Amino acid sequence: MDDLCDAARKKNNKKTTTKKKTTKGEFTPFSHRSIVLFIPFLPVKPALPEHCFIHGRWLLLLLLFVGVFGPPPALCQACKNVVVLHLEVVQVCRVPICNNRLDRLRETSKPTTFTGCFVMTDSILEDNVAFYSDGAAYWRGRPATVDAMLGGYGHISGLDVCASRKFLSQFLGEGPGKTGQTRALDCGSGIGRITKRLLLPLFDRVDMVDVTETFLKRAPAYLGAEAQRVDNYYCSGLQDFIPMPGHYDLIWIQWVIGHLTDEHLTEFLKRSCAALRPGGLICIKDNVAQEGVIWDGEDSSVCRSLDLLSRIVEDAGMTILEQKCQDNFPKEIYAVWMIAMR
């Protein structure tokens, strides 16, 4: 089992740059916030192994539930926050485990598929209050500078904005299906880097929302004369923020969704969808893990896989229009993806 844990840790533990990260995410498989399930399944349609992988969280390698047939109560409880698992149509095959070796499981006569059942972030983050308060405290201690907003990678700001402008511009304009350019909302705005360099050049008016008051107070000076086109500076976490219905052509959400649980991210996307004007657009730009979810204890955030983000968008009742990976970022950081939806 130790070998498996080491392999999983190496696969997922890469450096990240986000608006709110300075060090690599810590993969901690046996922390008190982690539940570990690796279970051999007898798949019955819909195939649970695929669902587990798509919806999974936290690649952890504890072998459990040996010797019984059918999903035991403990498994149902552990999986209670995993989306659409259809446990009623799945038989959990419990077979002997000798020396914690997966090859012995594969040698059984049953046509089992050995796969991971990963627990959702909301299960891992048992104390949501601490999750949010720790994240807010981290950012209160950071300086109100572009370099701090980018976790020490201030030099990539130009590349970031250029790619975002190219990605966004394909949706803007007049006509059926096009997005207007009257008003945008910058979510996780910090001091206004995105507002200044991406949104104000494309939109008439912008609102900003960020959890850190000192960043918002610094924003007018950073924005300069263009600050007159920023109407509102909202100091709020996105889990509590309710954008005005039918108010925005664009809601831009960059390097901040890792500070929301799955449930709160889903609900925020629903509220954001209601806040769009006709033809309006929501764009997420954020770090993406290769698989599952990676927890960063330093700034109290998570990094999700693209599959998991896609499922959350679907759960929010939205459709992805386009998604693209950011080019030319440093190789040591996570992949960064742009996702447009409405």
The pLDDT assigned to 264 comes to 94
The pLDDT assigned to 110 comes to 38
Residue 291 token pair: 């698989």
The pLDDT assigned to 182 comes to 98
Alpha carbon distance 255, 323 (integer Å): 16
Which range is most confident: 59-68, 83-92, 279-288? 279-288
Alpha carbon distance 179, 31 (integer Å): 45
Neighbouring C-alpha atoms within 13 Å toward the C-beta of 277: 12
Lowest mean pLDDT among 26-30, 136-140, 163-167, 244-248: 26-30
Whether the model pTM is above 0.85: no
The pLDDT assigned to 283 comes to 99
Instruction: Taking residues 309-324, report their average pLDDT.
Output: 96
Alpha carbon distance 214, 9 (integer Å): 36
The pLDDT assigned to 120 comes to 41
**pLDDT higher than 90, residue 71:** no
Per-residue pLDDT band for 291 (boundaries 50, 70, 90) equals confident
Alpha carbon distance 199, 206 (integer Å): 7
**pLDDT higher than 70, residue 240:** yes
Q: Find out whether 118 and 52 touch, Cβ atoms under 8 Å.
A: yes
Find the Cα–Cα–Cα–Cα dihedral 89, 79, 255, 244, rounded to 10°.
80
The pLDDT assigned to 125 comes to 58
The pLDDT assigned to 105 comes to 37
Alpha carbon distance 58, 23 (integer Å): 19
The pLDDT assigned to 121 comes to 52
**pLDDT higher than 90, residue 163:** yes
The pLDDT assigned to 336 comes to 98
Of 104 and 336, the one with more pLDDT: 336
Q: Find out whether 337 and 306 touch, Cβ atoms under 8 Å.
A: yes
The pLDDT assigned to 70 comes to 38
The pLDDT assigned to 91 comes to 32
pLDDT mean across residues, the chain = 74
Which range is most confident: 106-120, 121-135, 239-253? 239-253
In three-state form (DSSP H/G/I as H, E/B as E, the rest C), the secondary structure along the chain is CHHHHHHHHHHHCCCCCCCCCCCCCCCCCCCCCCCCCEEEEECCCCCHHHHHHHHCCCCCCCECCCCCECCCHHHHHHCCCCCCCCHHHCEEECCCCCCCCHHHHHCCCCCCEEEECCCCHHHHCCCHHHHHHHHHHHHHCCCCCHHHHCCCCHHHHHHHHHHHHHHHHCCECCCCCCECCCEEEEECCCCCHHHHHHHCCCCCEEEEEECCHHHHHHHHHHHHHHHHHEEEEEECCCCCCCCCCCCEEEEEEECCHHHCCHHHHHHHHHHHHHCEEEEEEEEEEEEEECCCEEEECCCCEEEEEHHHHHHHHHHCCCCEEEEEECCCCCCCCCEEEEEEEC
Neighbouring C-alpha atoms within 13 Å toward the C-beta of 272: 31
Going by C-alpha positions, the residue among 196, 197, 186, 187 that lies closest to residue 223 is 196
196-228 per-position pLDDT tens digit? 999 999 999 999 999 999 999 999 999 999 999
47-69 per-position pLDDT tens digit? 333 333 333 322 222 233 333 33
The pLDDT assigned to 127 comes to 63
Q: Find out whether 186 and 216 touch, Cβ atoms under 8 Å.
A: no
- Residue 279: phi, psi to the nearest 5? 80, 5
Instruction: Taking residues 111-126, report their average pLDDT.
Output: 40
